[in-house]
Chains A and B, each alone.
Chain A
Amino acid sequence: MTGKFHATHAALIGIILAVSGFITWSAVDARASMENLIVTAPVAAVIALLSVLLIASTLLKPAPEAAEDAEEETRDPGIWGDMLLLAGFGVFCYALTHIGFDLATFLFVWAGVVMSGGKGWWQPPLFAAAFTALLVYGFGSLFPYPMLTLVL
């Protein structure tokens, strides 16, 4: 029986291949000269080779026992929580310049504290408000760029 290729590993190699393929295609399309491809072409070839090697070695490795597999899955129950926080972080980064640095930070920190196991109903929003004020008046005042805020 062949080894199991984890979904997150497949996703990572897929992303690496897709991004590398696109960059290579774009560079070749822009100008297929040696000066333009001096790093891109050899690096693309090595990435393709290493990916094939990694996929083959993972698939050819003997499959783990069913019990081991189940144990590995129970050991890592936080994957969905991580992904939720990651998605929330992505939305927060996008929202900074759209709804305002202050509101976006307040909402993200509040939700983040609750998701990370912060106890109590008043402590997380109070902390989020104090932290947001500190960032806006402290960190933000040092920025050499204009910063959109909604309340502060």
Chain B
Amino acid sequence: MIDQFALSQALDLLFSSFTPWLWVIPGLMIGLVFGSIPGLQISMAMAVFLPVTFGMDFLQAMLFLTSIFTGGAYGGGVTAILMNIPGSSSSIATAFDGYPMARQGKHNEALGLGLAASVVGAFVGYMLLMLLIQPLAAFVLKIGPLEMVVVVLWGLTLIATLNDSALSKGLLAGFFGLMLSQIGMSTTGVMRTSVGMPYLIDGLPVVPAMIGIFAASELLRLRGGTYLVRNEDQRDISFGRILKGAGETFKYPGVLVRGSLLGAVIGAIPGVGSSVANLVSYGEAKRTSKTPERFGKGAPEGVVAAESANSSSEGGSMTALLALGIPGGAATAVLLAAFSFHNIIGGPSFIRNQTDIVYSIILGNLGQVVLLAVLGLLSLRLLGLVVRVPLSYLVPSVLAMCAWGGYGITGTIAGPLTVAGFAALGWLMRRNNYPVAATVIGLLLGRMMEGELVRTMQISGGNPLRYMLERPIALVLFAVMLLVLVGAPLLKAMRRRRTTEA
């Protein structure tokens, strides 16, 4: 599986001089800053700093850009935990339990959990990439729209488990999100619901909507309080408690390993990636937990599941880029641009002829993961200071940043207005115990679902069931999904019945 000669050459390339590592720490810090500010995205950071890589050699450029990627993925989780603002769609599920933990005064532990799960997830993702790059590439090539439909459906099933009061409210919130995803031009080029506004041609901007419905609506609810953490004794930033939280991550080895594996496999699917991986992993952790009622109220397993999956999906997303030359998302598209700047074409010939470089990139990323653990721990003390700011100052300041973030994403008035509209919707939903996360999931996955469904219908000639029988991967995925969704709860119910009878 591993070419020993290329591996030794890769080690030589990486460790014979300090040059490849020169830009890794600045890259991680840039990623942490961009990831933790709502509205600044990792792909934006990578694009902004792409010209800096012109003067670097290829390996140095790759390590610099991927370190921004690695730092940003963790930075998004920090704001999700401290302020309920997921820095990107890959951190949505982190906010579900991370923020309630922070409100209970367990922000140190939550940050530690997130950091350790991220580090382990990224490590597993890159290790899998190194061991299985060729079989994974073959797997990616066999993924068609039907397989994508099954994966997206799996992500959507999380909607049914997100409800505080009534299942019907959770479902209505989720289906409303799906309906909102239908605004704008359809996959087949039909214009719907643009109400004469050119801003809506591409549909509602998802990240500003997410910022509005999660963060702005929550900030309105916090108004009138004193501090984010009510208990003064728990408001400190404790290095010891962060480390304790990091250690606690390993109390959930099943959640950690499953999240990392799910993230790496789903992350390898182009176009789906980390935004679905963290949701599927969170849903599975909740479904298989002995105490699912704790999820959404500050369960550490929830943070572990989400963070391990979104970090390991980074390694997965590199599979398609390195092995096939296909970018799976915006960040890997910037990496592909860096490839072309250095006259390198990703794909089977790149893996075959320049295996040492491929291994160097992967090993370099494993090194970055270790550096992320150190830098993350040091920066958490600074980022965690937010719990000491009085809410009377924090609420309007972060609300203003949310609006700026909306503008940063779209570059037009549509961004801030989307934030405001969704803040109002989120406020109404929270007042009446509707889960806002369900709407975001519907909005995020609805458009993806429509595109893949239409393509499946076209390829199958209108008979998707017969087509499914010809697609073994889709069949296996579908069977596993059914087994997990229906089989596992049935088995659990039967066991419970037997125990009560005995």
The interface bits of chain B over 327-355 (1 if a CB of A lies within 8 angstroms of the residue's CB, else 0) are 00000000000000000000000000000
Neighbouring A residues of B175 by C-beta, 8 Å: 43, 46-47, 50
Residue contact B182 to A23, C-beta cutoff 8 Å: yes
- When the two chains form the complex, which single residue of B188, B393, B411 contacts A35, counting CB atoms closer than 8 Å? B188
- When the two chains form the complex, which single residue of B176, B191, B423 contacts A86, counting CB atoms closer than 8 Å? B423
Residue contact A16 to B176, C-beta cutoff 8 Å: yes
- When the two chains form the complex, which single residue of A8, A54, A113 contacts B172, counting CB atoms closer than 8 Å? A54
Taking CB atoms and an 8 Å cut-off, the chain B residues in 409-423 that contact chain A are 411-413, 416-417, 419-420, 423
Residue contact A85 to B37, C-beta cutoff 8 Å: no
Can you list 21 A-B contacts with CB-CB less than 8 angstroms, sorted by A residue number? A9-B431, A9-B432, A12-B434, A16-B176, A24-B179, A27-B182, A38-B454, A39-B181, A43-B175, A50-B171, A50-B175, A54-B168, A85-B220, A89-B423, A93-B403, A105-B404, A111-B396, A112-B400, A131-B400, A135-B401, A135-B404
- CB closest chain-A residue, reference B191: A30
Q: Is A2 an interface residue (CB 8 A)?
A: no
Neighbouring A residues of B172 by C-beta, 8 Å: 16, 47, 50-51, 54
A36 to B187, CA, bound (A): 8
Neighbouring B residues of A127 by C-beta, 8 Å: 393
Measured as residues with beta carbon below 8 angstroms from the partner, the interface class of chain B is 35 or more
Residue contact B37 to A93, C-beta cutoff 8 Å: no
Taking CB atoms and an 8 Å cut-off, the chain B residues in 165-186 that contact chain A are 166, 168-169, 171-172, 175-176, 178-183, 186
Q: Is B119 an interface residue (CB 8 A)?
A: no
A19 to B182, CA, bound (A): 11
- When the two chains form the complex, which single residue of B44, B179, B392, B397 contacts A117, counting CB atoms closer than 8 Å? B392
Residue contact A92 to B400, C-beta cutoff 8 Å: yes
Residue contact B40 to A53, C-beta cutoff 8 Å: no
Neighbouring B residues of A47 by C-beta, 8 Å: 172, 175-176, 179
The interface bits of chain A over 29-50 (1 if a CB of B lies within 8 angstroms of the residue's CB, else 0) are 0110011101110011011001
Interface of B is mostly: helix
- When the two chains form the complex, which single residue of A6, A38, A40, A50 contacts B432, counting CB atoms closer than 8 Å? A6
- When the two chains form the complex, which single residue of A8, A105, A143 contacts B408, counting CB atoms closer than 8 Å? A143
A78 to B424, CA, bound (A): 15
Measured as residues with beta carbon below 8 angstroms from the partner, the interface class of chain A is 35 or more
Of the listed stretches B13-21, B281-289, B445-453, name the one at the interface; the rest are far from the partner chain: B445-453
A15 to B426, CA, bound (A): 12
Interface residues of B (CB under 8 A from A): 34, 37, 39-40, 44, 47-48, 166, 168-169, 171-172, 175-176, 178-183, 186-188, 190-193, 216, 220-221, 223-224, 390-393, 395-397, 399-401, 403-404, 406-408, 411-413, 416-417, 419-420, 423-425, 427-429, 431-432, 434, 446, 449-450, 453-454, 457-458
Given A82-B221, A101-B404, A142-B408, 12 more pairs with CB closer than 8 A? A12-B428, A15-B428, A27-B193, A35-B187, A82-B223, A89-B216, A92-B403, A94-B420, A111-B396, A112-B395, A116-B396, A145-B411
Neighbouring A residues of B392 by C-beta, 8 Å: 113, 116-118
- When the two chains form the complex, which single residue of A36, A53, A145 contacts B407, counting CB atoms closer than 8 Å? A145
A44 to B178, CA, bound (A): 10
A87 to B493, CA, bound (A): 48
Neighbouring B residues of A118 by C-beta, 8 Å: 390, 392-393
A16 to B425, CA, bound (A): 10
Residue contact A19 to B179, C-beta cutoff 8 Å: yes
- When the two chains form the complex, which single residue of A20, A39, A81 contacts B223, counting CB atoms closer than 8 Å? A81
Residue contact A116 to B224, C-beta cutoff 8 Å: yes
Q: Is A96 an interface residue (CB 8 A)?
A: yes
- When the two chains form the complex, which single residue of A22, A53, A82, A93 contacts B193, counting CB atoms closer than 8 Å? A22
- CB closest chain-B residue, reference A139: B404
